[in-house]
Chains A and B, each alone.
Chain A
């Protein structure tokens, strides 16, 4: 059986790992064999990977905490809020989801509902909505207990359903939650319980024994502390008997049950822990934002958290934290209110360039594709500028103000104005071109890359960059597919083998 993952043009075919042969070996699962082949590679990346593996985990966490605690001293308040605070929040959320999906192997698509319930729970007990003002030290544990209880209830579905059915039931739970908070909004004691589409405003800030956390800096350090506690607790849980039980359950539920592991209880426990963590995050999020709205807990947030967990690697705590940093920082760079347009542009073109150089081997094919794309760009731009109406390059004038890079890009890429269908056509053309690039190999791939590499900036400047919020979600969706098909263990996860 040749079960090697379908990769028409493996990048490191030119330099096979020295001591191993490619393909499956006798007694070794082919999935593992390819992984080991990849892992045995040399070079600086291989050294980095080995160094990473030999560092003790506690040291990694301490280094991360030390680095993270310097952040408030060189970021301004706004940047600390968007880049620092939200990264920590996503990291904690990701850690909770990691317990359910990464360790227990239960695809929970209702996770964001618990996040939302935590936020609404905090809003109900610490706002003028009903005139209840519990301090956070009481409110947060209460909210966590409530979400844990709901997690226990939803966990009953995990006892009976598995795989896809569980995914769909939990997704129903999320949809029901959204419908309940966003549109149903039942009236209780004369007030709309959830405030409907307006949500609940004017929440109390976090307060502990009369000490109120109101500045971003205080909230940041509080969240950092929470992250440290949660990460350490989950790390120990993973080492414990319970953690081993979860992983056994994930890898083969039937075998685990035969080994007298209490499968049902472990599933529910995973749900409870995930729900409580999400509830904790929700309460903190609500207190920091000062208001809750149901649109903060949509499927888009769910995908973002999944992207965090999967990019870093399912089952890896360090991976989740790394994933949170990458996902949140890139999402915030894309965000509409981002005040770093030049950095955004550099980041995008740098990433594309890096991907081409890293993935297209040997180097001269990458060079041909890149140079071809540059030449093609100037030709197309010159022809269009000479022959067609000026509106095809009119966007360039509006764009030229943003620095030298902007000017250089504008004289290379077609930036149109007022050609609605052009956007649709180039976007579809790009998707088709990417599919073609993926389907052909060798020199044909290098040739197919030339128009693709030109279409990427055209689409970016015309379609994606002006709509940053949607773009981020498109990229996360595409990333999930690409990661799952090429590197399912993410950046730092360990490869898994399904026993067939």
Chain B
């Protein structure tokens, strides 16, 4: 393994501070995407204690819905309507479509299993994820589709306004789309926290998460609360899908699997059930992955990231911001 260590030291030297900043910037943006998916995981896990394997694939479906709207309006190179309404429409379609998908998944794959042995909903979730993934493969032919995000809104194939720099640090530009992704993730996190802590519905959510049976005895329609929770969680994943398309530029059927896996770990790293924890975890996983790609090399990055995550789960399964759960008997 010695060669790996030397490579890493070489890479750190050759990339320098400027390279490190680029890696950090990419990591933060990627991490914000993970954070959005992780918020969905954390909401669903908080309320149902269920690892919703399908969350990553809902994210993928959202990316394809956004792509569908983009294509329907003439594609990125030659859109029929203005840039802002086009992007708004993409988000609307992806979020509503993913939300409906999430609610129907909950209704048909998880709700019949509310009182079943614990392993049953997990296997059902695995089945849903696999169904969505392979359906997407079937319907898209397994190809990688490009948003052409670089040229989106630009004239005659020039770079679009999304790629213009907002500010730069030591000669490294930070573009509009990068700021947009991070700002949206933070904004949605704040919105969610307000929703959960300040509104009547948030109170119902917290009550359902705390004790479903008692909540339903207090007159809370827990099934409806759970449905809405799935709608919100899937909407976030759908939004993340469109942002992935705008930032990374491509969408394909398998992208939900690994992204979902990493986002779930992000939720665990941050402390599952905690909303700021999900964002913190997402950022950490994103930065970790970005530095692994830059310093260790693309082919090793997944192994490094998964290795770190496995170790983290061993050492502190309750996460950074999570509270140590007391098991009720």
User: Could you list which residues of chain A lie within 8 angstroms of chain B, going by C-beta atoms?
Assistant: 3, 5-7, 31, 101, 105, 107, 109, 156-157, 160-161, 163-165, 167-169, 171-173, 175-176, 179-180, 183-185, 254, 299, 303, 306, 310, 314, 423-424, 427, 431, 435, 438, 463-464, 467, 470-471, 473-474, 476-481, 484-486, 488, 496-498, 500
Contacts and interface: CB of A to CB of B under 8 A. Distances in A.
B82 to A, nearest CB: 26
Given A254-B327, A474-B138, A484-B123, 11 more contacts: A157-B313, A161-B314, A163-B119, A165-B317, A169-B310, A176-B303, A179-B303, A299-B257, A464-B138, A476-B130, A485-B124
A480 B268 contact: no
B123 A477 contact: no
Contacts of A185: 299
Given A254-B329, A463-B138, A168 B130 contact: no
Interface string B86-114: 00000000000000000010001101111
B123 A480 contact: yes
B113 A168 contact: no
Q: Which 8 A-B pairs have the closest CB atoms?
A: A480-B127, A477-B130, A477-B131, A164-B51, A484-B124, A481-B127, A485-B112, A183-B299
Interface string B298-325: 0110110011011001100100000000
A486 B112 CA distance: 8
A364 to B, nearest CB: 27
Contacts of A156: 314
Contacts of A107: 119, 122-123
Contacts of A160: 314, 317
Interface residues of B, number: 53
Contacts of A180: 303
Contact of B268 (A6, A168, A427): A168
Given A180-B303, A488-B116, A157 B314 contact: yes
A297 to B, nearest CB: 15
B115 interface: yes
A484 B127 contact: yes
Contacts of A3: 114-115
A484 B113 contact: yes
B127 A488 contact: no
Secondary structure dominating the interface of A: helix
Contacts of B119: 101, 105, 107, 163, 314
Interface stretch (B147-155, B174-182, B233-241, B258-266): B258-266
18 contacts: A157-B313, A163-B51, A163-B122, A164-B50, A168-B268, A169-B310, A171-B261, A172-B310, A179-B299, A184-B303, A299-B130, A423-B139, A467-B138, A473-B130, A474-B134, A476-B130, A484-B109, A485-B113
B130 to A, nearest CB: 3
Nearest to B122: A107
Nearest to A309: B123
B120 interface: yes
B128 interface: yes
B258 to A, nearest CB: 7
B121 interface: yes
B118 interface: yes
Given A254-B329, A463-B138, A464-B138, A176 B302 contact: yes
Contacts of B303: 176, 179-180, 184
Nearest to A252: B329
Interface string B261-302: 100110010000000000000000000000000000001101
B138 A165 contact: no
B139 A427 contact: yes
A478 B118 contact: no
Nearest to A172: B306
A479 B117 CA distance: 18
B126 A303 contact: yes
Interface string B243-269: 000000000000001100100110010
Contact of B138 (A31, A109, A438, A470): A470
A165 B313 contact: yes
A167 B51 contact: yes
B37 interface: no
B76 interface: no
A222 B134 CA distance: 35
A330 B130 CA distance: 18
Contacts of B317: 160-161, 165
B131 A172 contact: no
Contacts of A438: 108
Contacts of B113: 484-485, 488
Contacts of A435: 104, 108
A344 to B, nearest CB: 17
A107 B123 CA distance: 9
A409 to B, nearest CB: 20
A31 B108 contact: no
B109 to A, nearest CB: 5
A306 B327 CA distance: 29
Contact of B123 (A157, A179, A310, A497): A310
Contacts of A165: 268, 313, 317
Given A254-B327, A427-B138, A477-B129, A161 B300 contact: no
A485 B129 contact: no
Contact of B134 (A473, A479, A488): A473
Given A6-B111, A164-B51, A165-B313, A176 B134 contact: no
Contacts of B135: 427, 431, 474
Contacts of B158: none
B137 interface: yes
Given A474-B131, A481-B127, A163 B112 contact: no
Contacts of A161: 313-314, 317
